[in-house]
């Protein structure tokens, strides 16, 4: 068993410190996506394996259902003399980072840099380390970490969080397009060569500098069974020195996760350092490949779906969500797979919630319901009920993933 | 006829420079409002005149209709196995500034001061004078002035604008409550003595220092018929020296309105000066009394309603909206009267729009429709259709006025 090294702590803190950067991008899209004008998906099926094809079929089915639902709602309202808010016409399409133009990729990273240049809304009395508007999102995540993972709000919170981040990029930093995501299993064999992380000027910067190091050891979550999980070391480990974020300063964290050293003021203090990354194929190949994502999509109830996505405690797996975390050390969200999964059986899944308002129900808390309110603190947005974030095509949202 | 004096130009620019401050507050509520727990309104009717009582009856009717509609929608969704987003339970109640506690008044003015202390989102390349988050709202109003008055978007734009301002106060400045408004006709005889403008520490500051001056002469709007309108001088005219905003620095404006001198960079340049005010009973008594507001509420179609609210060009009246402008030199919005007016006949008024996308259709533009998109630039919010801001009890809104 590998010991817990200082480096593995660093790896863990990056999970949070760089999360907003990544939450906005990574939605575990398990398929490549050349979309025709009619909305159908053309895949080079001969080069895709069986699991990739199965995922592709799921996506097509989800998309068909979503469009049919939108059309039916438009028709229903029309009969009442009303008009629908979200229709095929104004639906926003979130695309894979590799599927948007280089110009649009640059516009996106420019907007993130802009957010990192603006003054924080978080009062320094609350989070002395929150210096920028970008940090507001990091601080909110640190604040709420014990309530938004392995909890009933996990999926809804990350959906709203990503949307509010997108709105901030638009309103505060002139970004025009929908937020892009990372087509994850497509690049699982070599994330460091993907358009998003290859380190060129159109990427979201590359890997950290290579520093020989052991893998990361994850202790079991508090109160959960099982052995530590050992993750293979990546191809980086040091400071990021390429692409738009080569000079990025990480201000907040680390937070108190297993094996991690808590930063000043409970992770909310000022703790400036470079952005480190350590991605490589090891973790991605194991946890974020087509089969792993297909496994998630095949779950029949929300409890299993969200548990497998995060990795069932004691199972030895960190799930695709965890795989995303440890591949690129950011928060991969999970909104895309949730959105697809919901659309595969809307009557049973649209409003399905499972879990309580605390991480693995520690400390014990109330069940999350449609009435449970979430908020994003100083990051932005409003107090909003889980009820109002269950569909990506109902106000305030109007988007799908392609 | 009084000549246009330098002072009257000053009066006019204040219309815009202090607008956000006021748009957030003034909704022309034509009734006092002691609200019982059941939501019914108890008025000391014996002290109210006939017009005030008639307005009071309108408000009660509007409120009853709104609650009935909410209940019916909740019931309808329940039958479909769905749940309503906006119900009696989570409805926000916007109250008259004079009806909230002194503590809450202070919390409100503190939040506005906070917004004035934060760095602007508007790029200086666009508006060099926009220094603070508060200025973002002013700059957006200056930018869009030719499209949001005497246009089809007038009412919807101001509704959304006020709401986004309220959200900014909450998210960025820790304000907790709903945004208060000014019960206007209640204080028409003496606005300078009202809780909102009496200049004490719980007010939104008082009048400007008294400087003897002539009234303001308003030239007809471009292309509109009629004689200039002469407004009585107020009891101030100089810098505001009392209350929370006694040190406020106005950065933007003036804008190019009739009789006003355009500030640098088309009103978007940096032009620091004190906050001036010139309110007094003259204008308020004439244009914002109970009878004037009742007259608006009695209009049967949206075209007449919004025209009378702003003052029909050539009629010699500036309407209650204009009366609000020139009483306190800020933008009084009009959302409250619109909300009530809609609720008096929802089937005909809920989605009624009249007008084009430019001021008095100059230059000629397309008709405003439910599909017309508005946005608030760097102030905040998202691109949103008129369709989605027609009801105050549908997402993204969930509020009423009491």
Does B385 reach chain A within 8 Å, measured CB to CB?
yes
Q: Cβ–Cβ of B387/A83 closer than 8 Å? A: yes
Question: What is the structure's pLDDT at B20?
Answer: 32
Q: Is the dihedral of CA B279, B281, B287, B290 positive or negative?
A: positive
> Residues of A with CB below 8 A from B395's CB?
388, 394-396
Strands A373-374, A229-231: pairing is unpaired
Of the candidates B138, B126, B109, B161, the one whose C-alpha atom is nearest the C-alpha of residue B272 is: B138
Residue B237: its pLDDT value, please? 87
A119 vs B: CB within 8 A? yes
The confidence score (pLDDT) of residue B45 equals 47
Mean pLDDT computed over every residue of chain B: 82
Q: Model confidence over B212-226: pLDDT tens digits?
A: 888 777 777 767 777
Give residue B171's pLDDT.
Answer: 85
Chain B residues closer than 8 Å to A123 by CB: 174
In contact, B339 and B400? CB cutoff 8 Å:
yes
Mutation target vs A (from B74, B121, B348; most A CBs, 10 A cutoff): B121
Distance to chain A for B115, nearest Cα, Å: 10
pLDDT at B257 over 80: no
Q: Which of A129-138, A212-221, B4-13, B314-323 has the lowest mean pLDDT?
A: B4-13
* Model pLDDT, residue B17: 31
Is the CATH code 1.10.1280.10 the one for domain A26-401?
yes
Question: Quick count: other Cβ atoms within 10 Å of Cβ B396?
Answer: 20
Q: What is the pLDDT of residue A260?
A: 59
Question: Cβ contact (<8 Å) for A382 and B167?
Answer: yes
pLDDT at B96 over 70: yes
pLDDT band at B315 (very low <50, low <70, confident <90, very high): confident
Q: Where are the beta strands (DSSP E) in B284-378?
A: 373-374
Helix residue spans in A149-227 (DSSP H): 154-173
Are B210 and B237 in contact by the 8 Å Cβ rule? The answer is: yes
Question: What does each C-alpha distance from A201 to A103, A109, A236, B177, B285 come to in angstroms?
Answer: 10, 9, 19, 45, 63
Encode pLDDT of B163-187 as tens digits.
999 999 998 898 999 999 988 788 8
Query: Is A172 within 8 Å of chain B by CB?
Result: yes
A380 touches chain B (CB under 8 A): yes
A90 touches chain B (CB under 8 A): yes
Alpha carbons A52 and A49: distance in angstroms, whole number: 5
Question: Could you tell me which of B326, B324, B377, B380 has the C-alpha nearest to residue B115?
Answer: B380
The pLDDT assigned to B232 comes to 82
Does B203 have pLDDT greater than 90?
A: yes
Please give the pLDDT value at position B199: 96
| Cβ neighbours of B167 in A, within 8 Å | 382
Across A135-144, A321-330, B72-81, B234-243, least confident range:
A321-330
Give me the residue label for tokens 């979550």. Answer: A221
pLDDT of B130 above 90:
yes
The answer to whether A118 contacts B119, with C-beta atoms less than 8 Å apart, is: yes
* pLDDT band per the 50, 70, 90 thresholds, residue B97: very high
Please state, in angstroms and rounded to a whole number, the distance separating the CA atoms of residues B124 and B127.
Answer: 5
Residue B15's pLDDT band (boundaries 50, 70, 90)?
A: very low
pLDDT exceeds cutoff 70 at B157: yes
B378 to chain A, any CB pair closer than 8 A? The answer is yes
- Burial label for B117, CB within 10 Å (0-12, 13-18, 19+), is exposed
Task: Split chain A (402 residues) into runs of 10 and give each run's mean pLDDT.
Answer: 26 30 32 34 57 91 93 89 86 93 97 94 92 94 85 94 93 91 84 92 94 81 76 88 95 69 84 88 81 92 92 80 67 82 93 92 92 92 92 94 90
């Amino acid at each position: 068993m590998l010991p817990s090294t200082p480096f593995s702590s660093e790896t863990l803190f990056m999970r949070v410190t760089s999360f907003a950067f990544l939450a906005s991008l990574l939605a575990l899209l398990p398929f490549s996506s050349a979309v025709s004008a009619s909305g159908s998906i053309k895949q080079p099926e001969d080069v895709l394996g069986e699991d990739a094809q199965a995922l592709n079929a799921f996506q097509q089915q989800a998309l068909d259902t979503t469009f049919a639902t939108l059309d039916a709602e438009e028709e229903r309202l029309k009969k009442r003399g009303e008009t629908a808010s979200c229709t095929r016409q104004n639906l926003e399409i979130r695309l894979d980072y590799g599927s948007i133009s280089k110009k649009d990729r640059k516009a996106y990273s420019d907007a993130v840099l802009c957010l990192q240049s603006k003054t924080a809304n978080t009062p320094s009395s609350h989070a002395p380390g929150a210096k920028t508007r970008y940090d507001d999102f990091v601080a909110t995540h640190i604040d709420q970490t014990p309530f938004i993972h392995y909890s009933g709000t996990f999926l809804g919170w990350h959906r709203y969080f990503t949307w509010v981040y997108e709105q901030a990029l638009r309103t505060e930093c002139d970004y025009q397009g929908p937020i892009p995501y990372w087509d994850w299993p497509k690049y699982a064999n070599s994330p460091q060569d993907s358009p998003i992380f290859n380190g060129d000027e159109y990427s979201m910067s590359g890997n950290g500098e290579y520093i020989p190091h052991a893998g990361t050891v994850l202790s079991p979550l508090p109160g959960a069974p099982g052995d530590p999980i050992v993750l293979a070391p990546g191809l980086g480990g040091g400071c990021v020195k390429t692409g738009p974020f080569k000079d990025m300063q990480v201000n907040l964290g680390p937070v108190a996760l297993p094996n991690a050293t808590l930063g000043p003021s409970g992770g909310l203090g000022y703790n400036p350092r470079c952005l480190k990354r350590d991605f490589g194929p090891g973790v991605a190949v194991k946890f974020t490949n087509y089969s792993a994502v297909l496994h998630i999509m095949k779950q029949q109830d929300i409890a299993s779906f969200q548990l497998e996505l995060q990795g069932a405690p004691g199972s030895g797996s960190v799930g695709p969500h965890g795989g995303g975390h440890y591949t690129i050390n950011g928060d991969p969200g999970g909104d895309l797979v949730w959105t697809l999964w919901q659309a595969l059986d809307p009557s049973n899944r649209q409003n399905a919630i499972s879990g309580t308002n605390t991480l693995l129900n520690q400390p014990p808390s109330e069940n999350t319901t449609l009435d449970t309110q979430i908020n994003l603190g100083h990051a932005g947005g409003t107090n909003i009920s889980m009820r109002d974030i269950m569909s990506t095509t109902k106000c305030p949202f109007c988007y799908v993933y392609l």
